[in-house]
Amino acid sequence: MSNRQHFARRRCGIGIIAIIAVIALFGAASAFALDISLPPDTAAYRSSDLPGYQLVQQNCVLCHSAHYPQMQPGTSPRGYWEATVKKMKKPFGAQFADEEIPAMVDYLVKTYGAERPAAAALR
């Protein structure tokens, strides 16, 4: 066998080993597939005597928890909450009557927004 042929054989052998190694690695990776479990999205709306509290419990928990309202800046004014609630209806598709909007907005701004007692104390 010439030196050149010998070299070509060895390279081919290394190639096969590399392919087998890659297949083995993929096999190992799928055996260690990540199992990610997120905490349940169950944040509840803060209880209140305001009539909007009952309404948000009826109308706002179908798609997501109270986590989104909780995450909004505490300085958010009434107009922001009104726009947000309207957005949930259109385009997002929430099913509630337009007449229910003012009470929900009132509850939201006084519980999570600029009109909450804590926000008033900061002024």
To ligand HEC, the closest distance from the beta carbon of 122 in angstroms equals 21
Q: Quote the CA–CA distance of 114 and 74 in Å, as a whole number.
A: 6
CA distance 110 to 114: 7
List all residues 6 or more positions away from 89 whose beta carbon is below 8 Å from its beta carbon: 95, 96, 98, 101
Contact call for residue 17 and ligand HEC (CB under 6 A): no
For position 59 contacting ligand HEC by CB under 6 A, the verdict is: yes
CA 15 to chain centre: 45
Segment near ligand HEC (CB under 6 A); pick from 13-21, 33-41, 85-93, 114-122: 85-93
Q: According to the binding rule CB under 6 A, does residue 105 interact with ligand HEC?
A: no
Q: Which residues bind ligand HEC (CB under 6 A)?
A: 56, 59-60, 62-64, 68-69, 72, 84-85, 87-88, 92-94, 104, 108
